[in-house]
Amino acid sequence: MTDSLVETELKFLLTEDAARRLEALEGEEQDLVSTYFDTAGFDLLKRRATLRLRRQGEGWTQTLKAEGENAASRFEDERESRDGRLDLAAFSKRAVQIAGLTSIRGLVPVFETRIRRRATRVLQGGSTIELALDLGEIEAGGGSAPVRELELELKSGAVEDLLDLAREHGRAGGLSLSFTSKAERGYRLAMGASLEAVAFQRPALDPKGAAAAGFQALALAALHQLCANAEILRLARKPEAVHQARVALRHLKTFVTAFKALVRDEGFSEVKAILARLTGVFEDARSLDVFIADTFRPLAEHSPPGEHKDGAAAFGAALLSAQDQAYAKVQAEVSGDAFARDVFGLAHWTLAGGWLRQAHTTEAPPTLGETAERLLSHRRKAMLKRAAGLDWSDAHARHTLRIQAKKMRYLTEAFADPKAAKGFVKRLKALQDHLGVLNDIATARATSQLALGADTPEAAFAAGLILGRRQGEEERRLKAAKKAMGAFARAPAFWKG
């Protein structure tokens, strides 16, 4: 078996039609039964590592995996297991150290996968790539989830060839890029969290490493977040998954803009266009979710008894109908081939765009740490400058400051040690929250129009009353936002020194 190595692979989730089509793939078939182990406190999961014992035919293998440089690569150490038992001594010292294991004591089975794999190797360009069709299920905690995946793993050669082969398979449709491993899905199933929204996970970053590698890791982490929440939305209506999908896109926009000097290439304009298209997929659903939760329900519930009850009920029904339509659109979009092509386009550019060639030809490329300090300093100065001359009565000006605050927070949370930046982020979040409420107040009327038609006068009247009450909060929120801006302005720049 191989010693420690890094695997580079792409995974696609398949529709039933795509899975049937790919069953014609020629290759060797294997039945794989894998048991994943962890402690009762999920210590391996916390270190983003997995330990697997697999039965392949008459033989057994044991594998340690851990997070690689980015979401498309993983550290892997696979060894034989002669008697179907775990043996840490068989692994390399580096693998055991990365996983943080000292003994198999305390390890228990967490979940199991039962997979029929059909695999073959193909030549693409000058590269050797393994294609594996995995069909089966994951079992955990008395529940199960189906597995229909196509994995393409680069055995030797260039990542560009891996991407080209993936694009060829994607043209037939029914393939959605995923960065969620079977292990991650298994853990979520075991914890009863299969349909819980997925937040951004900060990747491991090396401040002394190249800025290009840092950008790539951050961009792929945002794509992981986007793909994971899109997968949830294909299965269920989940407002938090809509929110996290939008957050993923905002993260990616922030990183692309912040690293613009490094990543601007011939594909840069198309990347920005894709991000705009994908953001539009979730816009109406998110606006209605926020309006219903934060404006309609609280104010409607606290209205005096009998006060325009019929109109409020009609407005509420219209909002729910509009919300249903918005979610139907979201689910259709995230299940469609156009969405899949756009997401793959972002991944292709991130992994093999022209910007990488430019980065490698730079004589003295900046380190990630140097770049992070420059970006954080620039972003903070821009915020303070805008706030100094801000007309707080101008909703558009406040919204622009809010966008700057979001970008500042995303960059801070991406680059900084959470403990070092805790106070800074707390003040930044307070400012962002107050500005967010002010923006919701300013856009509430436009959002309500998503539900109101020309033939709903009673609902429109009730909507006017509710909006009037909501706008009555504006003065109080303005004072709170100004105070939060002052507190943020006094926050020390934690990254200096």
Rounded CA separation 424/402 (Å): 16
All residues at 6 or more sequence positions from 106 whose CB lies less than 8 Å from its CB, including other chains = 39, 40
Measured in whole angstroms, the distance separating CA 166 from the mean position of its chain's CA atoms is: 21
Across 391-406, average pLDDT: 95
Contact (CB, 8 A) for 452 and 488: no
Instruction: Give the up-direction half-sphere exposure of residue 85: CA atoms within 13 A in the CB hemisphere.
Output: 5
All residues at 6 or more sequence positions from 338 whose CB lies less than 8 Å from its CB, including other chains = none
pLDDT in tens, 185-232: 999 999 999 999 999 999 989 999 999 999 999 999 999 999 999 999
Please tell me whether residues 336 and 426 are part of one structural domain: yes
Q: Which helix (H) or strand (E) holds 338?
A: helix 337-352
pLDDT at 489 over 90: yes
Identify whether 348 is part of a domain.
yes
- By C-alpha distance, which of 374, 373, 398 is closest to 386? 398
Q: What is the radius of gyration, based on Cα positions, of the chain?
A: 25
CA distances to 137, 358, 370 from 425, in Å? 41, 34, 20
Higher pLDDT, 462 or 343: 343
pLDDT at 366 over 90: no
Across 107-123, average pLDDT: 95
pLDDT at 305 over 70: no
Please tell me whether residues 183 and 291 are part of one structural domain: no
User: Can you give the residue range of the structural domain that contains 115?
Assistant: 5-194
Identify whether 233 is part of a domain.
no
Identify whether 256 is part of a domain.
no
Instruction: Report the relative pairing of strands 127-140 and 143-156 from DSSP bridges.
Output: antiparallel
Backbone angles phi, psi at 210, to 5 degrees: -70, 145
Please tell me whether residues 162 and 278 are part of one structural domain: no
CATH number for position 128: 2.40.320.10
Please tell me whether residues 308 and 167 are part of one structural domain: no
Q: Which helix (H) or strand (E) holds 357?
A: helix 354-361
pLDDT in tens, 23-36: 988 899 999 999 99
Boundary-marking domain end, from 194, 212, 234: 194
pLDDT in tens, 420-468: 899 999 999 999 999 999 998 888 888 888 777 655 677 777 778 778 8
Task: Supply the pTM of this predicted model.
Answer: 0.90
CA distances to 14, 171, 383, 394, 470 from 477, in Å? 47, 50, 19, 14, 11
Confidence tier at 5 by pLDDT (50, 70, 90): very low
- By C-alpha distance, which of 7, 15, 54 is closest to 31? 54
pLDDT at 144 over 50: yes
Please tell me whether residues 11 and 139 are part of one structural domain: yes
Backbone angles phi, psi at 264, to 5 degrees: -70, 120
| Domains in the chain, number | 2
Please tell me whether residues 173 and 289 are part of one structural domain: no
Please tell me whether residues 178 and 304 are part of one structural domain: no
Q: One-letter amino acid identity for 62?
A: Q
Contact (CB, 8 A) for 457 and 403: no
Instruction: Give the up-direction half-sphere exposure of residue 224: CA atoms within 13 A in the CB hemisphere.
Output: 22
pLDDT of residue 4: 37
Please tell me whether residues 159 and 289 are part of one structural domain: no
Boundary-marking domain end, from 163, 194, 225: 194
pLDDT of residue 74: 67
Please tell me whether residues 150 and 285 are part of one structural domain: no
Boundary-marking domain end, from 136, 170, 194: 194
Measured in whole angstroms, the distance separating CA 92 from the mean position of its chain's CA atoms is: 32
pLDDT of residue 496: 61
Confidence tier at 68 by pLDDT (50, 70, 90): low
Identify whether 242 is part of a domain.
no
Identify whether 152 is part of a domain.
yes
pLDDT at 299 over 90: no
If you ran DSSP here, which 8-state letter would residue 344 be given? H
CATH number for position 362: 1.40.20.10
pLDDT at 357 over 60: yes
